[in-house]
């Protein structure tokens, strides 16, 4: 059984500030260790359920937050800051299941620690076929393209709740309750790891009940940017249409192409995002 694991960082137990998840800082060095332990807890649980092949795709910031020799399960490690498929780079149809570890809520959620949707300086809100989605829902387009189910998400409660409509039946492990974007009540890391391990095992023991993400095709992404300049620039990408001052839509019957169109708008608008 082969597992694709995409690891972010803002959903790690204890993390409540950008300084804790951005290099260089002593705090970052500490919290990246907690992230590594949560990734390993998910791998441990998967191995207990019979998984034996792992690819960890580092998906946070410059995407080089883990220590390759400390990954459990002899996992392969995909890292580095320029990846065409970003948080889903490396996925293909040979994988049996997908884990999202240390994910966070969307920019438009009521309160989620360090909430954002790909770029907090550019994007205010994203809907997929009308449903508010965070990174989990957008990334699920790639899962659908390859026919692989997303079976586990770990992070704060908002991350868990936002993933559920797109990935029905997904095993959710809540390691912290967000109070605001910069405060959360976290489980003790040891307790969080135990829950992640159990959740990963449980998800794979009922893998036969899962289907690829529930996204009706053709699918539409509606993106509200933080200002009109960003929306105007996003329309430089073919297939992106402006619907009001700050809003654009993109529709495609190919989920992978839709994801790539979205990523292109994210990368393009980075230049003028403040
Ligand atoms: Zn993120």
Q: In angstroms, what is the span from residue 210 Cα to ligand 1's centroid?
A: 24
Angle at Cα 250 formed by Cα 246 and Cα 255, nearest 5°? 140
- Beta bridge mates, 180: 183
Q: Quote the tokens at residue 95.
A: 């994988």
Q: In angstroms, what is the span from residue 205 Cα to ligand 1's centroid?
A: 28
Q: In angstroms, what is the span from residue 207 Cα to ligand 1's centroid?
A: 26
Q: Give the per-residue pLDDT at 40.
A: 98
What is the Cα–Cα distance from 249 to 198, expressed in whole angstroms? 39
Q: In angstroms, what is the span from residue 176 Cα to ligand 1's centroid?
A: 16
What is the Cα–Cα distance from 5 to 260, expressed in whole angstroms? 20
Q: Give the per-residue pLDDT at 93.
A: 98
pTM of the model: 0.98
Q: In angstroms, what is the span from residue 116 Cα to ligand 1's centroid?
A: 7
Q: In angstroms, what is the span from residue 154 Cα to ligand 1's centroid?
A: 12
Q: Give the per-residue pLDDT at 138.
A: 98
Q: In angstroms, what is the span from residue 138 Cα to ligand 1's centroid?
A: 11
What HEC string does 21-89 produce?
Answer: CCCCCHHHHHHHHHHHHHHHHHHHHHHHCCCCEEEEEECCCCCCCCCHHHCHHHCEEECCCCCCCHHHC
Q: In angstroms, what is the span from residue 118 Cα to ligand 1's centroid?
A: 6
Q: Give the per-residue pLDDT at 6.
A: 98
Beta-strand pair 2-7/53-58: parallel
- Kindly report the number of other CB atoms within 10 A of residue 205's CB atom: 14
Q: In angstroms, what is the span from residue 233 Cα to ligand 1's centroid?
A: 22
Q: Give the per-residue pLDDT at 239.
A: 96
Q: In angstroms, what is the span from residue 270 Cα to ligand 1's centroid?
A: 15
Q: In angstroms, what is the span from residue 59 Cα to ligand 1's centroid?
A: 7
Q: In angstroms, what is the span from residue 91 Cα to ligand 1's centroid?
A: 18
Q: Give the per-residue pLDDT at 270.
A: 96
What residues have their beta carbon closer than 5 A to ion ligand 1? Answer: 8
Q: In angstroms, what is the span from residue 11 Cα to ligand 1's centroid?
A: 9
Dump pLDDT digits (tens) for 134-158.
999 999 999 999 999 999 999 999 9
Q: Give the per-residue pLDDT at 115.
A: 97
Which stretches in the chain have pLDDT values below 70? Answer: none
Q: In angstroms, what is the span from residue 31 Cα to ligand 1's centroid?
A: 15
Q: In angstroms, what is the span from residue 122 Cα to ligand 1's centroid?
A: 14
Q: Give the per-residue pLDDT at 166.
A: 98
Q: In angstroms, what is the span from residue 10 Cα to ligand 1's centroid?
A: 7
């Amino acid at each position: 059984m082969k597992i694709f694991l995409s690891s972010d960082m803002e959903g790690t137990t204890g993390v409540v500030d950008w300084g804790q998840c951005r290099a260089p800082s002593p705090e970052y060095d500490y919290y990246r260790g907690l992230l590594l332990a949560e990734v390993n807890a998910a791998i441990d649980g998967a191995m207990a359920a019979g998984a034996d092949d792992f690819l960890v795709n580092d998906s946070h910031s410059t995407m080089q937050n883990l220590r390759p020799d400390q990954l459990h399960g002899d996992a392969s490690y995909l890292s580095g800051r320029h990846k065409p498929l970003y948080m889903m780079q490396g996925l293909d149809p040979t994988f049996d299941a997908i884990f999202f570890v240390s994910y966070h809520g969307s920019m438009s959620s009521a309160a989620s620690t360090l909430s954002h949707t790909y770029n907090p300086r550019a994007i205010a809100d994203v809907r997929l076929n009308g449903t508010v989605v965070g990174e989990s829902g957008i990334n699920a387009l790639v899962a659908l393209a390859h026919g692989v189910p997303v079976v586990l998400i770990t992070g704060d409660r908002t991350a868990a709740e936002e993933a559920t409509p797109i990935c029905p039946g997904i095993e959710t492990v809540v390691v912290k309750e967000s109070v605001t974007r910069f405060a959360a009540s976290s489980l003790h890391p040891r307790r969080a790891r135990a829950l992640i391990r159990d959740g990963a095992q449980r998800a794979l023991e009922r893998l036969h009940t899962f289907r690829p993400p529930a996204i009706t095709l053709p699918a539409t992404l509606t993106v509200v940017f933080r200002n009109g300049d960003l929306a105007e620039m996003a329309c430089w990408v073919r297939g992106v249409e402006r619907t009001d001052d700050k809003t654009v839509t993109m529709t495609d019957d190919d989920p992978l192409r839709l994801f790539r169109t979205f990523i292109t708008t994210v990368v393009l608008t980075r230049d003028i995002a403040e």
